[in-house]
Structure 1
Amino acid sequence: MDDQNKNLILATALSFVVILGWFLLFPPPAQDLVATDQVETAAGGTVTVPTTQDAAAPATTLDAPLTSAETLAAAPRVQISTERLSGSISLLGGRIDDLKLNDYRTTLDDDAPIVTMLTPQGTEDAYYALQGWAAGSGLDPAAVPGPDTPWTLAQGETLGVDSPISLTWDNGAGQTFGRTISVDNNYMFTLTQSVTNNGDSAVSMAPYGMIVHHTLPDDLKKFFILHEGAVRMADGELAETDWDDITDAEIDPKWGRQAIVTNDINEGWVGFTDHFWQAILIPETGQTFDEALTYDARAETYRAVTRLPTQSVAPGATATATTQLFAGAKEWEILKAYEEAGVPKLIDSIDWGWFFFLTKPIFWVLHHLNQLIGNMGVAIICLTLLIKALLFPLAYKSYVSMARMKELQPEMEKLKKDAGDDRQKMQQGMMELYKKNKVNPAAGCLPILMQIPIFFSLYKVIFVTIELRHAPFFGPFQDLSAPDPTSIFNIWGLLPYASPEPGSIMALVFIGILPLLLGISMWLQQKLNPAPTDPTQQMIFAWMPWVFMFMLGSFASGLVVYWIANNTITFTQQYLIMRSQGYKPDLLGNIRGSFSRKPKADVKK
């Protein structure tokens, strides 16, 4: 087996390992542990943090009576209406628990439902945000607002971009609480809580924010390339926590339940994220706070909590606390704008992965190419051209080395014949031949090896970024983040019929047009060189393009577009460079030879 073919097989095997590794799934386990409600504030002292209620959880003096779906449904609501958001806020607890993203639909169908971001308690996969105060020492827990406080609308009728609303509640014990909620023209809510002490003595309490997720989402991808679960930033350090990491956490004595806690944070945020959407709490910069991810096994409830220090409010004084809530799509430009406005490293809530030093610049280039061109598929092709241009010096050396090795083929065959069974003599002769002619036998696989991290990073970008979701190319290819929708069943997109479900056996058998083009482009690239004389090598090379074709058939079509463009450019580069070195690949002869029993002999012109 000559060194050139060894290198190519090695590089291909490594590619197989990387691609197959992406199919690993990690189902989340579950645990059942009890939970309590006593926690310690960031400034010391013990307060009671409210828990969301369900029929299985015992009531406490703070959160009784239990909040039922009927009670929530009967509570008055304030509508949310902006260009990008719609929904409502329940005056029972001031919950932001009904939110839809107007710009996004669940499928490509024109009449598909709008994406729902937050849902009230009592609905399937309930997901909502709460704000409140936790009672300090000597203060009745019922005297501070919690999940079931009956707020009164004091100002505004509908929450909009230029129309904030104000809520008020008098506890009847000398304190009046207020809450002002505003929203910008994207996905950021600003919530300012206040308390005025009209009593005769000082009172102490701690403001908190909470995002609650009941049970695990039904649409979890469970794909290791994508992080789903909690995401948090604490003083510049990013942490991505899977759902099962929260359920597996140890009971924290200060929180009284399974919890992952970070204390005394000066700036940061915490929340939950999935494939394209996220809800994140962002305390005001300059305010020290604690953050926690907790799990209540009684109700199978996950919480992301921010807890500010206890405040002592003197008679006649007013205390305030401000927190922001991001609830929406993980759009790169929007997150970048919020980061520039003071939210630390919010752009990192997108799962850039281990190769962030590649995925970030690759996405940046792809994003701006798409803005310039207006078509994501064409932008991917242009990105491929740029990547190939950057790697051209390495590719040039590789293909020049391959051409020179073809020139040395007669001498190599003579060395093999003279050495006979003496492999050491043959290897020594080969090394002397390479050194004499300044040929590097490893150079042939370097461009392929360089493609592996780039391929992985581009796959990551296409899979995790919302900008690729439902991004059209042309004709039947209207979602580059989804597999090829064509097959022989719909005459490769000419008929308005659905193709087999991606990942099914039928989809593998009746392959789409993009994977078919991928296989053909790999096969043509292979034909720049004659088939090897060794039968095992010949079989591997013969099957390789079609194995890749079926393997990548269920991948995102944007990635397949990249691979086709990459193969086409590589084919052109290799052909022209090898010809410039005096070696003319016999493409047609090699193609004809692939249909005969014996491989065609190499031809040099």
Structure 2
Amino acid sequence: MDTKRLILFVIFSFSILMLWDAWQREHTPPPETVTAEAATDNSVPHAEKLPGAKAAADMPKESGFRLQTADRIQVETDVYKAVIDTTGGDLRRLELLKHRADNSTTENFVLLDDRAAPMVYVAQSGLIGQGLPNHKTVFTAEASNYQLAAGSDTLEVRLTAASADGVKVDKIYTFHRDSYVINLRYEIHNESASPIDPTVYYQVVHDTESNQGSHMMPTFTGGAYFTQADKFKKLSFKDMGKNDLSKTTSDGWVGLLQHYFVSAWIPKEGVTRQFYSKKLADNIYSIGTKSDIGVIAPGASAEVDARYYAGPQNQEVMKQVAPGLEYTVDYGWLTIIASPLFWILSKIESVVHNWGVAIILLTVMIKLAFYPLSAASYRSMAHMRELAPRLQRLKEQYGDDRQKMQVAMMELYKTEKINPMGGCLPILVQIPVFISLYWVLLGSVEMRHAPFMLWIHDLSAIDPYYVLPILMGATMIIQTRLNPTPTDPVQAKVMMIMPIVFSVFFFFFPAGLVLYWLVNNVLSIAQQWHINRSTERATALKKKGNGRR
């Protein structure tokens, strides 16, 4: 196998793995589903009870989807600026005070919002049952502004629904200091003469157009859920449009993912729940969970609790919040490799306190770990480089007779004891590791707005002056020149152009990814140059020894 085929084989293999990974992410069969039904108002879940429970009355229907509004309640903690609408007591806006907006160093990142077209992203909840308040009911609150007091660890916002048929309902949000977990509690007081049998639901509503990434770096935005039986599952809006999710389980959470951030409803442990999704409009979907509360006798009361996580995909934090929530940082089928790589990367960063330096050190460690394999590959290519003039002579000797030329080449390889495939296997072994690290750097929120040095202030953003991509292109050209030159002049020109073409893509990659590839290339060049020199010296000594004989 000549150099051109070797490099093309490696690039092709790498591309196939990347395309396969992307295909799996896009075409994974949707989770357990039921056929979607046409409905005029899907925003309120149907009131069918879970297996074994009696049915309750459905909520009134209305035509189409719309977000109704009333008074707005402002809530501020050390991590949030939140807006709650008294219509439904929905969380309509969440501004994360410790995370900057995309391409900004002054404005805060807004996760939830109902007034930023085309973005619609809100968290809703309610009760299903005759006369019970849902996310269309108007609540009242004691104040319109709430702020976490100094020295206090919690902030409570209590909303009250007007009593209907003798049933009083309070909806209480509890915010916590230094936490992206919001507790939600319903207090239900049945002061009527009849028993009630309510169902509680929690859902996230999102559009299909916002937070989709760029054309060069598309990212997943869509639904997700986790159960101990099924583990982590993603559900794209496309899948939601085809079928409604309907899954009953006794554990787990359900929510919505986007690049770097997640929001998830986590019902109380041990409560049977049904995960569902619905298409609310042409570009609006909901995904949520509902659970039976149980019969509440006249004069009795009941409480039902859930948690809502809305914040960055910080794996260490999410592990403490709910089982499986850390899987929202999705590395796909390479998780078994990517997760340990991220663990090592984070440990290095905890020592050096710079994610850019941590990337460099991890790349060096990986390069050292694969040094024997890389050396075998480069040694094979160095031998092929030494044979290049002789291969050229064979081409000139046999002209267009490819069969004779192939026979002569195999004889030459046999005489020189060179395996033309010797450089392929070591490279193929390393490809999954390099792809894993690629996904680690692409998906880690820790890289977002993380400075490196000099002009690199955000490892998740494009290098503003394109210095790293240009250096990356230069290293690829150097690598090409260190490899054996193809015997075909056209192929040689193609091999010279390919680094430039591939470098263009790196102009649109985050700086952290380009830094990783740049360091890897520099180390590869140093190793390949050393092996080429050693091979050349060994060949020269061999020729000198043969000449003396």
Q: Is the 8 A contact 2:382 2:483 kept in 1?
A: no
The equivalent of 1:201 in structure 2 is: 194
The equivalent of 2:450 in structure 1 is: 471
The equivalent of 1:175 in structure 2 is: 167
One-letter amino acid of the structure 1 residue matched with residue 6 of structure 2: N
The equivalent of 1:402 in structure 2 is: 381
Q: Is the 8 A contact 1:41 1:310 kept in 2?
A: no
**What is the CA-CA distance between 1:283 and the residue it aligns to?**
0.7
Matched, 1:117 2:111: yes
| 1:560-587 CA distance string (max 9 Å, x none) | 212221111111112223334454899x
CA distance in 2 between partners of 1:438 and 1:540 (Å)? 29
Pair 1:405–1:273, CA change in 2 (3 A): closer
SS of the counterpart of 1:554?
coil
CA distance in 1 between partners of 2:227 and 2:449 (Å)? 33
CA distance in 2 between partners of 1:129 and 1:453 (Å)? 38
Q: Is the 8 A contact 2:139 2:160 kept in 1?
A: no
Q: Is the 8 A contact 1:119 1:128 kept in 2?
A: yes
Matched, 1:41 2:24: no
The equivalent of 1:327 in structure 2 is: 310
Pair 1:191–1:68, CA change in 2 (3 A): closer
SS of the counterpart of 2:155?
coil
Pair 1:429–1:199, CA change in 2 (3 A): same
CA distance in 1 between partners of 2:122 and 2:299 (Å)? 34
Residue of 76, 90, 112 corresponding to 1:95: 90
- Residues 378-393 of structure 1 correspond to what in structure 2 (within 5 A)? 378-393=357-372
CA distance in 1 between partners of 2:324 and 2:409 (Å)? 54
CA distance in 2 between partners of 1:442 and 1:281 (Å)? 52
One-letter amino acid of the structure 2 residue matched with residue 320 of structure 1: E
The equivalent of 2:75 in structure 1 is: 80
Higher mean displacement: 463-472 or 42-51: 42-51
Pair 1:528–1:319, CA change in 2 (3 A): same
The equivalent of 1:485 in structure 2 is: 464
Q: Which runs of 5+ in 1 are unaligned?
A: 59-65, 136-140, 250-258, 487-511, 587-605
Q: Is the 8 A contact 1:120 1:127 kept in 2?
A: yes
CA distance in 1 between partners of 2:118 and 2:3 (Å)? 58
Residue of 323, 329, 353 corresponding to 1:374: 353
| 1:40-59 CA distance string (max 9 Å, x none) | 12143333565897xx549x
Q: Aligned residue pairs: how many?
A: 520
- Residues 429-448 of structure 1 correspond to what in structure 2 (within 5 A)? 430-431=409-410, 434=413, 438-448=417-427
SS of the counterpart of 1:45?
coil
Q: Is the 8 A contact 2:3 2:483 kept in 1?
A: no
CA distance in 1 between partners of 2:174 and 2:127 (Å)? 19
- Residues 290-301 of structure 1 correspond to what in structure 2 (within 5 A)? 290-297=274-281, 301=284
**What is the CA-CA distance between 1:309 and the residue it aligns to?**
2.0
The equivalent of 1:362 in structure 2 is: 341
- Residues 266-305 of structure 1 correspond to what in structure 2 (within 5 A)? 266-297=250-281, 301-305=284-288
Q: Is the 8 A contact 2:395 2:487 kept in 1?
A: no
Residue of 452, 473, 476 corresponding to 1:519: 473
SS of the counterpart of 2:359?
helix
SS of the counterpart of 2:423?
helix
| 1:518-539 CA distance string (max 9 Å, x none) | 1211222233346444312321
CA distance in 2 between partners of 1:291 and 1:410 (Å)? 67
Q: Is the 8 A contact 1:287 1:308 kept in 2?
A: yes
Pair 1:52–1:563, CA change in 2 (3 A): farther
Pair 1:240–1:464, CA change in 2 (3 A): same
Matched, 1:188 2:167: no
Q: Which runs of 5+ in 2 are unaligned?
A: 27-35, 541-549
The equivalent of 2:499 in structure 1 is: 545
CA distance in 2 between partners of 1:98 and 1:417 (Å)? 72
Q: Is the 8 A contact 2:4 2:495 kept in 1?
A: no
Q: What is the CA RMSD across the aligned residues, in angstroms?
A: 3.7
Residue of 281, 284, 289 corresponding to 1:306: 289
One-letter amino acid of the structure 1 residue matched with residue 305 of structure 2: T
Q: TM-score w.r.t. structure 1 length? A: 0.76
CA distance in 1 between partners of 2:118 and 2:396 (Å)? 74
**What is the CA-CA distance between 1:287 and the residue it aligns to?**
0.6
The equivalent of 2:246 in structure 1 is: 261
Q: Is the 8 A contact 2:184 2:305 kept in 1?
A: yes
CA distance in 2 between partners of 1:231 and 1:201 (Å)? 38
Residue of 232, 243, 267 corresponding to 2:225: 232
**What is the CA-CA distance between 1:514 and the residue it aligns to?**
1.8
The equivalent of 1:562 in structure 2 is: 516
Q: Is the 8 A contact 1:159 1:182 kept in 2?
A: no
The equivalent of 1:591 in structure 2 is: none
CA distance in 2 between partners of 1:448 and 1:151 (Å)? 65
The equivalent of 1:9 in structure 2 is: 8
